[in-house]
Amino acid sequence: MKRYNKMKDWKKATYLLVGFATMIMVGCRREFLDVDPQGQQPNEQFWQNEDDATKAVNAMYAKLRSWENVAFAAIAVESMGSDDAEKGSSPDDAAFHNKYDNFTHTSTEGQTLDFWKGQYQNINFANQILDNVPAINMDATLKNRYLAEAKFVRAYSYFRLVRAFGGVPLRLSVPADASEYNIPRSSAEEVYAAIEQDLTEAAAVLPQTYGPADVGRATKGAAKALHAKVAMYQQKWPLVLSLTNEVMAMGYDLFPDYEKLFRVENENSVESIFEIQAKYVAGNCDISNSQYSEVQGVRGSTGGGWGFNVPTQDLANFYETDDPRRDATIIFRGETTPQGDAIPLAGDNPRYNQKSYVPFSQYPGECASGSEQNIRVIRFAEVLLMNAEAANEIGGPANVTQALSSLNRVRQRARGSLPATVLPDITTTDQAQLRQAIWRERRAELAMEFDRFFDVIRQGRGFEVFEDLGFVEGKNELMPIPQNEIDISAGVLTQNPGY
């Protein structure tokens, strides 16, 4: 298994933005992401002008598609523990994933450490921008936007950390010297407060849309939608409702075809609120480095993928009768995909993640297969479901009506032109019943998008839902703090309960 752009621990980095300092332009709509990893510019020669600021911000975005952010570590920490996904691949390949699947992982597992490092590398990129760009003499509007983009990325990375580990070290600037490296964990409440402040400040500055060359950057809608999600994890229902109402008025909509929504040609669609951008550049595997699709792709000579993070039979059985999202989420062995790829009847895995699927004809002749596939982080459908959940939790006739409207809008898109008896509208006004319906809809709509485990945990149902998988109440709600980080800290960092 080849890994691209594995970066050193941010604490030990001696060069600014190692691996991403030089830009190349190829004249496509995502040109701001085409970052050549060969240039390495020492810190004392950087941060001189607007071009340096642009390189730094573009490098920050490029890091989001790195191995630590979208491949094995993300699968292990954010997907394996749920009832939607299991290891996949052949039994002896990367067997450590089984430990995440059955909750026997420990604080020394390498994927947990990779995930931790990946998020702090993102944060380090953002902090360098926030510390250094203010002093650059450049266009003031662009400067403020770059700072807002850095705050969004920092908030996104801290959100991934806090929901996985609880309280973590909260670093909001680059350490001045080695004496500032070793800081203790902040509380989860303090981390959430910092995230919310970053997102509030980012939303106040970020534009609602960009021109074609900048599609994929964080927008005002992305900051508000992520803020709503962060607030949902804290059960701040009035804030969730307010923020989602604002996003719903910004012109987003549901893409009409659920299956086609996840294909490369429909990236950054009307439904997209934030996607991690990925692209294939012929002859440059350092830029074409996203392995999100490759590690989950159909395994074997035909598919070219590794076959990890596959849908479970439990997920396949979960969908309502004739729900089109079942076949749009799961590739079944022996089927022919809508794009004409015949999946062999024989193979290691009976199912694969269709949302990460790239048609075989679109594989490049080099680099990671499926390297063009964006990662959908926040979709408008989730904003509608957050709106429905918040309105129902607040209660009252008007809010229940709104909850039903937002919920059924998602179901109606999924149903498409099928008869109304398929995915019929939800009509109950009972708060408990409607809550269950919304939770079920989140699973059906967002399956295999790395949210299911955390949804169940925030709902307080971890033991109820995951008991048969080996879940231990009072322990497995959180991941262990990587033992390597505790050792480096000489005990300043403390471990989560049960580990």
Q: Where are the domains of the chain?
A: 11-280+376-488
Tokens 């939800």, residue?
A: 426
> Looking at the DSSP assignment, which residues form a beta bridge with residue 376?
275
Please report, in tens digits, the pLDDT of each residue of the chain (499 residues total).
433 333 333 333 323 343 333 332 222 234 555 554 444 566 668 999 999 999 999 999 999 999 999 999 999 999 999 999 999 999 999 999 999 999 999 999 999 999 999 999 999 999 999 999 999 999 999 999 999 999 999 999 999 999 999 999 999 999 988 888 899 999 999 999 999 999 999 999 999 999 999 999 999 999 999 999 999 999 999 999 999 999 999 999 999 999 999 999 999 999 999 999 998 898 899 899 999 999 999 998 676 899 999 999 999 999 999 999 999 999 999 999 999 999 989 888 999 999 999 999 988 878 888 999 999 999 999 999 999 999 999 999 999 999 999 999 999 999 999 999 999 999 999 999 999 999 999 999 999 999 999 999 999 999 999 999 999 999 999 999 999 999 999 999 999 999 9
Amino acid in position 437: A
- CA-to-CA distance for 6 and 147, rounded, in angstroms? 26
State both tokens at 60: 């920050």
SS3 36: strand
Q: What is the biggest distance separating any 2 CA atoms in the chain, rounded to whole angstroms? A: 66
Amino acid in position 296: Q
State both tokens at 108: 């020394």
List the alpha helices (DSSP H) in 133-219. 140-165, 188-203
Q: What is the pLDDT of residue 33?
A: 54
User: What's the pTM value of the predicted model, to 2 decimals?
Assistant: 0.92
- CA-to-CA distance for 409 and 390, rounded, in angstroms? 16
Query: At 53, which helix (H) or strand (E)?
Result: helix 50-63
State both tokens at 362: 């679109």
Using DSSP bridges, classify how beta strands 308-311 and 85-88 pair: parallel, antiparallel or unpaired: antiparallel
State both tokens at 85: 């996904």
State both tokens at 52: 């340096």
The fold adopted by the segment(s) 11-280+376-488 is 1.25.40
- CA-to-CA distance for 359 and 225, rounded, in angstroms? 30
- CA-to-CA distance for 276 and 279, rounded, in angstroms? 10
The four Cα atoms 346, 327, 266, 456 give a dihedral, to 10 degrees, of -110
Residues listed for the chain:
499
Angle at 483 between CA 82 and CA 72, to 5 degrees: 40
SS3 243: helix
- CA-to-CA distance for 143 and 51, rounded, in angstroms? 11
